[in-house]
Structure 1
C-alpha cells in the first residue's frame, strides 16, 4: 500500500494518553508491525511527537478510532 498520509500526534496535547492500545489499531490494519509499535511507543514516552505513515485507504477507519478515543492529531498529505 502507498503510504501517502502521515498522522501526527503532538506529544504536548496527548501526553496523558495511553498510546499502546491505539498503536495496535495500526497493526490490525497492517500499517505497522509490532516492532514499529514498540519503537514508536518509546519515542512518544520520551516526549517526541508520534508520526505514523498510513495509506489513505485506512485513514477513515483510523480517524474514527482516534476521535472516539479523544486523541488530538493532525493529518499531513505528502
Structure 2
C-alpha cells in the first residue's frame, strides 16, 4: 500500500505543478496527504484550495477538522 500511496502523491503533486490555478488539484492533493498522515501539508494545501475557490466546502470542512486536532 505504501508504494501506491507514494505514486498517488506524485501524481497529485504533478497536477498542482501543471494546473497551479486549479483549486480541485490542491484539494485532491491535500486529501492524499491527509490519508498518508501528513496533516500539516494537507492543511496547507486545503488552504491553497480555498484561496483559489472560496466556495470549496470540502476544503473548508477539512481545514476546521485538521485545525481542531
Give the TM-score normalised by the residue count of structure 1: 0.30
Q: Which has the higher helix share?
A: 2
Higher RCO structure (Cα 8 Å, ≥6 apart): 1
Q: Which has the higher strand share?
A: 1
